[in-house]
């Protein structure tokens, strides 16, 4: 359990001055007075002023088992005392056990390559795919097709696969060989379809792209089971099976990015399990360790892996990662997965998602709420200027809702720095260990913020929205 130790004003100001002088904050304008988090327990974190907040984003979609798990800290300490480091040029026990465990979770036969982050895991996937086709005599197959709105990482190749213009601004040119198709965005269907006449044109767009690029040049397509940070865009049920069919038809690899959707977030062990498909390559991170230690993995089907065992000076995968598969991180992951299994947190995730959607449904009567989308316990609330036009809500309104939640001790997210004009989706991704009281607090706080006179200057009461 995290213990908060109060700081006096001089200590706090000294700490902030160090922050201002030395620290570069991630993906945000420099903030001279950031919230300094000191402790965490369960779904809650505490800042240096003693303010407690419900972390309804699990950090960055990652603290799946909640904060303050002493058993994970103990597993890390025990491994550090035994063996703190060994590279995976050879092997070590925690990596072997974790690779086996991940095969059980994936429900297939895969070989596991460990790295540090989701970006790393996707870079590995792209390199493996290209080398695989080279070793099959199809060296022209080097391109990848992704989706607009999708995020696959911030390194040059992974950012090339990302379909978010704002993330790429001032960094291009990026890795070459990446193109994009429209997302499966039912609320704003790029193809003008509705549920009555949808023929999965969003999936068929991949086949069009493969044909236009030339099937002999396309190595793979990469998808999240549901687009998360790009706006919580959940595809129709038949979407992923259709992509599997298209990939098989054109000898293209299906790469599924489970960095956020994996490890219970979708209400299943992995997001693709919701659709009954078997990917060729699966990338994963975040919930793998619940962010208690950096670790990612790229799972490659046994059939792909076989080509890397062929004789020849350059047939092996010539990629090394100093910290990838660190023994301590692997021990942390094993304990984290044990907690998820023992506490039934995959099923708990599904329950949390259903409960939040049920509680939040009345918000659809609010004039500035256009849509509510969920994939397990990952939820997006799309804000609009008005429901008829569906014009995306402006930045000030979105910021007002987020600030209003924070003022009431609830931290939520948004799809910031993604696509200009469409950064209007509020996001929720609470720890899978969240209690019923935590879930109620999330819903009740959102309703309170949407009331007239709130910081966002919008809305209605929970009772009015519910018709009570």
Provide the 3-class DSSP secondary structure of residue 379: strand
Question: Where do the CATH 3.40.640.10 domains begin and end in the chain?
Answer: 70-342
pLDDT of residue 468: 34
Q: Which of 420, 290, 267 is nearest to 356 (CA)?
A: 267
Is pLDDT above 80 for 466? no
pLDDT per residue over 426-464, tens digit each?
999 999 999 999 999 999 999 999 986 655 544 433 343
- Where do runs of H (alpha helix) occur along 83-215? 93-106, 118-135, 156-161, 165-168, 201-213
The answer to whether the CB of 250 falls within 8 A of the CB of 210 is: yes
Question: Where do the CATH 3.90.1150.10 domains begin and end in the chain?
Answer: 9-68+345-466
The mean pLDDT of the chain is: 94
Report the relative pairing of strands 378-383 and 425-428 from DSSP bridges: antiparallel
pLDDT of residue 2: 52
pLDDT of residue 396: 96
pLDDT per residue over 102-147, tens digit each?
999 999 999 999 999 999 999 999 999 999 999 999 999 999 999 9
pLDDT of residue 454: 59
Query: Mean pLDDT over residues 34-42, rounded?
Result: 97
How far apart, in whole angstroms, are the C-alpha atoms of residue 375 and residue 315?
Answer: 39
pLDDT per residue over 136-177, tens digit each?
999 999 999 999 999 999 999 999 999 999 999 999 999 999
The tokens for 461 are 């009461």
pLDDT of residue 457: 46
> Which residue matches tokens 């989308």?
373
Number of residues that make up the chain: 468
How far apart, in whole angstroms, are the C-alpha atoms of residue 381 and residue 415?
Answer: 10
Most distant CA atoms of the chain, gap in Å: 73
pLDDT per residue over 360-396, tens digit each?
999 999 999 999 999 999 999 999 999 999 999 999 9
Is pLDDT above 70 for 282? yes
The tokens for 398 are 């979105």
With cut-offs at 50, 70 and 90, classify the pLDDT of residue 313.
confident
Query: Mean pLDDT over residues 218-247, rounded?
Result: 98
Chain centroid to CA 211: how far? 30
The tokens for 81 are 């005392």
pLDDT-above-90 percentage for the chain: 90
Q: Which of 62, 370, 413 is nearest to 230 (CA)?
A: 413
Query: Mean pLDDT over residues 271-297, rounded?
Result: 98
Q: What class is the 70-342 domain?
A: alpha beta
Q: Which of 97, 101, 130, 95 is nearest to 113 (CA)?
A: 95
Q: Which of 146, 253, 251 is nearest to 209 (CA)?
A: 146
How far apart, in whole angstroms, are the C-alpha atoms of residue 146 and residue 152?
Answer: 9
Chain centroid to CA 15: how far? 31
Query: Mean pLDDT over residues 3-23, rounded?
Result: 88
pLDDT of residue 465: 39
The tokens for 52 are 């407690």
pTM for the structure as a whole: 0.95
Backbone angles phi, psi at 235, to 5 degrees: -75, 165
pLDDT of residue 374: 98
pLDDT-above-70 percentage for the chain: 95
CATH topology of domain 9-68+345-466: 3.90.1150
Is pLDDT above 80 for 72? yes
CB atoms within 10 A of CB 208: 12
pLDDT of residue 312: 84
Provide the 3-class DSSP secondary structure of residue 74: helix
């Amino acid at each position: 359990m995290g213990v908060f130790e109060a700081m006096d004003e001089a200590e706090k100001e000294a700490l902030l001055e160090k922050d201002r002088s030395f620290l570069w904050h991630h993906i945000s304008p420099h903030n001279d007075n950031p919230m300094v988090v000191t402790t965490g327990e369960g779904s809650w974190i505490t800042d240096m002023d003693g303010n407690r907040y419900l972390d309804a984003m699990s950090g960055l979609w990652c603290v799946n088992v909640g904060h303050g798990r002493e058993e994970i800290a103990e597993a890390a300490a025990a491994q550090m005392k035994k063996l703190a480091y060994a590279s995976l040029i050879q092997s070590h026990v925690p990596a072997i056990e974790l690779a086996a465990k991940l095969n059980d979770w994936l429900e297939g036969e895969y070989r596991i390559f460990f790295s540090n982050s989701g970006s790393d895991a996707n870079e590995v996937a792209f390199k493996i795919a290209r080398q695989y086709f080279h070793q099959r005599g199809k060296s022209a197959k080097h391109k990848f097709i992704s989706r607009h709105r999708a995020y696959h990482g911030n390194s040059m190749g992974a950012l090339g696969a990302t379909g978010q213009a704002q993330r790429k601004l001032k960094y291009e040119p990026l890795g070459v060989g990446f193109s994009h198709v429209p997302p499966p965005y039912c609320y704003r269907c790029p193809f003008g379809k509705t549920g009555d006449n949808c023929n999965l044109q969003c999936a068929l767009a991949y086949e069009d792209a493969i044909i236009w690029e030339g099937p002999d040049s396309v190595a793979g397509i990469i998808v999240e089971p549901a687009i998360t940070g790009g706006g919580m865009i959940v595809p129709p049920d038949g979407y992923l099976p259709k992509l599997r069919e298209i990939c098989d038809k054109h000898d293209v690899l299906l790469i599924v990015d489970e960095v956020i959707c994996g490890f219970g977030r979708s209400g299943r062990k992995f997001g693709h399990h919701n659709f009954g498909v078997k990917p060729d390559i699966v990338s994963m991170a975040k919930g793998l360790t619940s962010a208690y230690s950096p670790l990612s993995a790229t799972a490659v089907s046994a059939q792909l892996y076989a080509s890397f065992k062929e004789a020849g000076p350059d047939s092996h995968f010539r990629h090394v990662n100093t910290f990838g598969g660190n023994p301590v991180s692997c021990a942390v992951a094993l304990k984290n997965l044990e907690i998820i299994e023992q506490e039934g947190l995959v099923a708990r995730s599904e329950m949390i998602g259903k409960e939040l959607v049920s509680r939040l449904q009345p918000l659809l009567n609010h004039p500035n709420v256009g849509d509510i989308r969920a994939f397990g316990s990952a939820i997006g609330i799309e804000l609009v200027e008005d429901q008829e036009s569906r014009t995306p809500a402006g930045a000030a309104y979105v910021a007002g809702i987020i600030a209003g939640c924070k003022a009431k001790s609830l931290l939520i997210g948004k799809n910031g720095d993604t696509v200009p004009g469409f950064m209007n989706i509020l996001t929720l991704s609470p720890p899978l260990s969240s209690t019923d009281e935590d879930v109620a607090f999330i819903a009740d706080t959102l309703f309170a913020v949407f009331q007239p006179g709130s910081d966002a200057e919008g809305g209605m009461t929970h009772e009015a929205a519910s018709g009570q």
